[in-house]
Amino acid sequence: MSTLPVVVAVDGSEHSLRALDWALDAARRRGAPLRVAHVRHHVAWTPPGAPVVVPPPADDDPVLADARARVEAAGTAGAGPSAQYLALDGAPGALLPELGAEAQLLVLGSRGRGGFAGLLLGSNGMTAARDAECPVVIVPPPGREVDDLLPSEPGARVVVGLKADAPDDATLALAFAEAALRDARVQVIAAYPWPIQTWVAPGDLVLPVYDQDAVEHETRTLADGFLTAHRTRHPEVPVEVRPAPGDAAGLLVAASKNADLVVVGRHRRRLLAPARMLGSVTHAVLLHAASPVAVVPPAAAEE
């Protein structure tokens, strides 16, 4: 049985070249082949009398030629993965998610060559993260500043969000697998709301009935229980559980500072919301995290 490749989309931009470097490293760590794809968005219709735009053959694609040279140069420093180069013609928003059907990971830069300079994340990256069948990694530009709300010890670190009342096993599994590949620890961010809002009739006086220490202890206990199977599967991976009050998105963005990767889940479909969605937390983390972000689709049974 062949190993699924790590797929990366390139368009010649600096954003996509950073994604290429990340994907090359990921393929090496996995012992997987690398597939480099350039989706060429050419206009399919031209006015009468205008010259027809004909895309160059795949072998003459300058974007793929530059990507090949970069991969081969990186390979001179050590054994690199086998690489395949693929030119596709069509709409990137439609073709990029399809590349994830036969991939371990789909890796993209935060913006493509055609994106507006002020965009934090291009529409193609957002679409791929929402629709691809495999985990999608978005590599941000360097130098993003985030609040230092959760200072951490130095060392390789994979951050993952855990919702104590609805844990996502696929997201946790990828975080532990990535940490094992990187000799890193897993930092689990388990956010809980505080202060807890109590709805009462107007004029009623309600005495506080919640103790924050008790809520934090309960959150940690639940998180430890959900992590048991993953700790058993990866006993070599150190685990740090960080229960913290506040907004999950803000905490994950803060934890992304100096992290190797942040892993978040994609929104599960619901009976009253059957369309695929990223979810507000994942959307915010993609826009603002300082480290690469992996978006994990739900397991097939949950979809």
**Crossing angle of the two packed helices 62-75 and 14-30, in degrees rounded to 10:** 40
Burial of residue 4 (number of CB atoms within 10 Å: 0-12, 13-18, 19+): middle
DSSP 172-185: HHHHHHHHHHHT-E
Please give the Cα distance from 138 to 109 (Å, whole number).
6
Task: Please say if the pLDDT value at position 142 is more than 50.
Answer: yes
CA dist 168 and 161 (Å) reads: 9
pLDDT band at 196 (very low <50, low <70, confident <90, very high): low
Q: Where are the alpha helices (DSSP H) in the chain?
A: 14-30, 62-75, 92-99, 123-131, 169-182, 212-233, 248-255, 280-288
Which tops the pLDDT comparison, 81 or 104? 104
Supply the pLDDT for residue 211: 77
User: Is 138:121 a contact under the CB 8 Å cutoff?
Assistant: yes
Produce one character per residue of 33-61: b if its CB has 16 or more CB atoms within 10 Å, e if not.
bbbbbbbbbeeeeeeeeeeeeeeeeeeeb
Alpha-carbon span 163 to 161, nearest angstrom: 7
Q: What is the mean pLDDT of residues 225-229?
A: 93
What is the domain class of 157-200+208-296 according to CATH?
A: alpha beta
In this structure, of 187-196, 205-214, 241-250, 265-274, the range with the lowest mean pLDDT score is 265-274
Say which range, 67-76, 96-105, 180-189, 268-277, has the weakest mean pLDDT.
Answer: 268-277
Cα–Cα distance measured from residue 229 to residue 123, given in angstroms and rounded to the nearest whole number = 36
Checking if the pLDDT of 56 tops 90, the result is no
Lowest mean pLDDT among 116-120, 134-138, 175-179, 264-268: 116-120
Domain(s) labelled CATH 3.40.50.12370 in the chain stretch across 157-200+208-296
Q: Which two tokens stand for residue 137?
A: 């990694």
CATH 3.40.50.620 in the chain, residues?
A: 6-139
Calpha distance 282→20 (Å, rounded): 23
* pLDDT higher than 50, residue 99: yes
Cβ proximity of 238 and 228 under 8 Å: no
Look at 31 and 1; give whichever has higher pLDDT: 31
pLDDT number for residue 144: 84
Mean pLDDT is lowest, of 141-150, 228-237, 262-271, 276-285, for 262-271
Nearest of 98, 72, 94 to residue 85 by alpha carbon:
72
Q: What is the mean pLDDT of the chain?
A: 83
**Strand, coil or helix: what is 141?**
coil
Q: Superfamily assignment of 6-139 in CATH?
A: HUPs (3.40.50.620)
> What local confidence, expressed as pLDDT, does residue 153 receive?
84
Q: What pLDDT does residue 118 have?
A: 44
Tokens 């180069």 belong to 85
CA distance 135 to 286: 13
| 226, pLDDT greater than 70 | yes
- The arithmetic mean of pLDDT across residues 68-83, rounded, is 79
Highest mean pLDDT among 44-48, 203-207, 254-258, 266-270: 254-258
pLDDT tens digits, 208-225: 556 778 888 898 999 999
